[in-house]
Amino acid sequence: MDRQLLPVLLLLLLLLGALGPRGQAQGPEGPSEEPPEEPPGEEVPEDEGVLVLNLQTLGPALREHAALLVEFYSAEAQTSPKIFAVRILNHLLLFIDQTLAPHRELLAGFREVAPPFRGQVLFVVVDVAADTDHVLQYFGLKAEAAPTMRLVNVETTKKYAPTDGEPITAASITAFCHAVLSGQVKPYFLSQEVPPDWDQQLVKILVGKNFEQVAFDETKNVFVKFYAPWCTHCKEMAPTWEALAEKYKDQEDIVIAELDATANELEGFAVQGFPTLKYFPAGPDRKVIEYRSTRDLETLSKFLDNGGKLPMEEPVAPFPEPSANSTVGSKEEL
């Protein structure tokens, strides 16, 4: 068998009997336990040109063959840590419902496109009928959106979507990949809708769609908490953040706000851990100051009263919890 032909038919055959105990997918609580390391030098079995993969042989196969096509993404079988640890940075995900015949028919075109992008794009099939809710959430999708595609660069975390309503064919997949790789497609950023009462509470609610307007208001000093709903530290500091907003509620030039960074993305603002606190002082300079001290009411108040500065003797806070949809240190989102 010509080894150059193998990547064309690279299929992920995850058989429960070959996997042993089932792992836990990385969920909203944070990264899961790492799958066991592959034994060094383990051979990847072949069956008529198809690489027969399991949890132990997936890693070596991806490294050796550049992983042109991987089927299927499986949270249950812990394939996500392997898939997203591959050195190919651009991942094209095809979201289909494996129970529907018209969706399964799309796989032929998906396989056809894969070989020319060897070493550039990792092709991954995501079955929305399986337990892949966290993958859908990461891309801002619902299962009903299938069939659809998304391309993500796992280094920059930028996500790209094809034109709405365009049929998924070998030609459209090829054109989409070329357009993204050549910089012709702009990334998209997730945002919740602006709540009607976003400014009616002590702590103002920010989302992607109103962040720019509020954070860079030249007449306001805006202090923003970037949080994740599942983050323990975020929950612990919630009463303090509310107390801070209560303390400064009568100062019209100070705004205390929060943004769910798992549901809203901001161009140019990388949130790598939770909670992350950023201060946006008034003025035309669009200055951003990251708060790195203790998160108690007294210290936070000193920071605000001094215009975004603290005395040198203030202690430095521990590093925040890792982000669940960050691509630095944790590929959880996937």
Residue-wise pLDDT for 212-224, tens only, equals 999 999 999 999 9
> What structural domains and CATH numbers belong to the chain?
3-181 (3.40.30.10), 204-322 (3.40.30.10)
pLDDT in tens, 38-54: 344 455 554 434 344 44
The b/e string for 138-156 (b: 16+ C-beta within 10 A; e otherwise) is bbbbeeeebbbbbbbbbee
Choose from 48-52, 242-246, 311-315 the range with maximum mean pLDDT: 242-246
Strand bridging mode 148-153 / 204-206: unpaired
Cβ within 8 Å of residue 25, ≥6 positions away: 32, 75, 76, 78, 80, 131, 134
Q: State the pLDDT confidence band at 80, using cuts at 50, 70 and 90.
A: low
CB atoms within 10 A of CB 258: 22
Q: State the pLDDT confidence band at 16, using cuts at 50, 70 and 90.
A: very low
Q: What is the pLDDT of residue 173?
A: 96
Backbone angles phi, psi at 314, to 5 degrees: -65, 135
- 215 neighbors 226 (Cβ within 8 angstroms): no
Coil, helix or strand for 316? strand
Cβ within 8 Å of residue 285, ≥6 positions away: none
d(CA 334, CA 320): 21
Q: What is the pLDDT of residue 51?
A: 44
pTM above threshold 0.75: no
Q: What is the pLDDT of residue 268?
A: 80
Q: State the pLDDT confidence band at 60, using cuts at 50, 70 and 90.
A: low
Copy the structure tokens of residue 40. 């060094």
CB atoms within 10 A of CB 268: 5
Residue identified by tokens 């606190």 is: 277
d(CA 149, CA 147): 7
Q: Which of 229, 230, 245 is nearest to 301 (CA)?
A: 245
d(CA 240, CA 263): 23
Sign of torsion over alpha carbons 309, 314, 320, 326: positive
- Does pLDDT of 77 surpass 50? no
Q: What is the pLDDT of residue 63?
A: 53
